[in-house]
Amino acid sequence: MTGAIASASFRYLPIVILLALWQAVSSLGWVSTAVLPPLTAVFEAGVRLLESDDFWSNAGASLYRGGMGLLLAIVIGAVLGIAMAWSRPVRTVVSPIVEIFYPLPKSALIPVTALWLGFGDASKILLIFLGCMLPVTIGAFNGARGSEQTLVWSARSLGASRLRTLWDVVVPSAMPELLNGVRTALALSWVLLVASELIVARKGLGYLIGFLGDGGNYDGMFAVVLFVALLGFIADRGYQAAMQRALRWRE
């Protein structure tokens, strides 16, 4: 156990070195504290923020937008991807559209969703839904198409209905790639959320970063930036751990 802790702390030592360097550079006055506030000041500002209602209402707005958009993207994207693999007509109609929209830089959608739905929650949810759906769709499609034909045939010859084969054979075998697509979508959702809040919003963590920065409260701005980074990191690692648990049956 101590060995594991020792090796983990050796592994993450470079991060500690970077943070120590940050603290040293700004508290020793090598750079102006207006440009890089000392880590300790950022930490104090972070604690103050965590005690304020303002912070939590902004964080709540961001998490609501991200969560709703992502949920819609996962559900609709997965259904669409599996339908594409399962039915030829659906594939013929949908796959060229997917192929066209997939390389579209998703940030281009920010002004459109703002135009359609304004500056509030709805435009962010629509943006995240549209931007994050295709990775899920493509993951589900590739996974479902890769399901072994022999398994499908066996299930059919054992008398499983088409729908039951879909649910019991195709969907589970699509799962690994589908979940990988969701991971891409998760990362993308943070980018779109924070970016759209930085650009057009009156609420949310991205808005708060811009607001604090415009007001010259750089300690607070750095604290919120680090908080967002930490949230993104935890979301990704948490998702990965959950995914590995969910896919244990594969081993």
Cα 156 versus chain centre, distance: 37
Quick one: which of 65, 186, 195 has its CA closest to 133?
A: 186
Q: Can residue 136 be called a binding residue for another protein (CB under 8 A)?
A: no
Q: Can residue 63 be called a binding residue for another protein (CB under 8 A)?
A: no
CB of residue 174 to another protein, shortest distance in Å: 15
Q: Can residue 246 be called a binding residue for another protein (CB under 8 A)?
A: no
Which of 43, 172, 217, 236 is the binder for another protein (CB under 8 A)? Answer: 236
**Neighbouring residues of 144: CB distance < 8 A, sequence distance ≥ 6:** 81, 82, 84, 85, 86, 170, 171, 173, 174, 178
**Neighbouring residues of 197: CB distance < 8 A, sequence distance ≥ 6:** 62, 124, 203, 204, 205, 206, 207, 210
Q: Which is nearer to another protein, 97 or 246 (CB)?
A: 97
Give the CA distances from residue 108 to residues 80, 112, 136, 156, in Å, rounded to whole numbers and listed in that order: 23, 8, 19, 45
Which DSSP state fits 105? -
Distance CA 119, CA 207 (A): 11
Distance CA 34, CA 102 (A): 41
Letters for 140-179 (x = contact with another protein by CB under 8 A, - = none) are --x-------------------------------------
Q: Can residue 56 be called a binding residue for another protein (CB under 8 A)?
A: no
Give burial (CB, 10 Å; 0-12/13-18/19+) of 185: buried
Q: Can residue 210 be called a binding residue for another protein (CB under 8 A)?
A: yes
Q: Which is nearer to another protein, 68 or 98 (CB)?
A: 98
Q: Footprint of another protein on residues 188-207 (CB under 8 A)?
A: 190-191, 193-195, 198-200, 205-206
Q: Can residue 228 be called a binding residue for another protein (CB under 8 A)?
A: yes
Window contacting another protein (CB under 8 A); options: 22-30, 44-52, 158-166, 183-191: 183-191
Q: Can residue 229 be called a binding residue for another protein (CB under 8 A)?
A: yes
Which of 15, 28, 158, 163 is the binder for another protein (CB under 8 A)? Answer: 15
Q: Which is nearer to another protein, 160 or 213 (CB)?
A: 213
Quick one: which of 25, 23, 28 has its CA closest to 40?
A: 23
Q: Can residue 35 be called a binding residue for another protein (CB under 8 A)?
A: yes
Letters for 94-113 (x = contact with another protein by CB under 8 A, - = none) are --xx--xx-xxxxxxxxxx-
For the chain, what is the radius of gyration of the CA atoms? 23
Q: Which residues bind another protein (CB under 8 A)?
A: 11-15, 18, 35, 92-93, 96-97, 100-101, 103-112, 114-116, 135, 138, 142, 184, 187, 190-191, 193-195, 198-200, 205-206, 209-210, 213, 218, 221-222, 224-225, 228-230, 232-233, 235-237
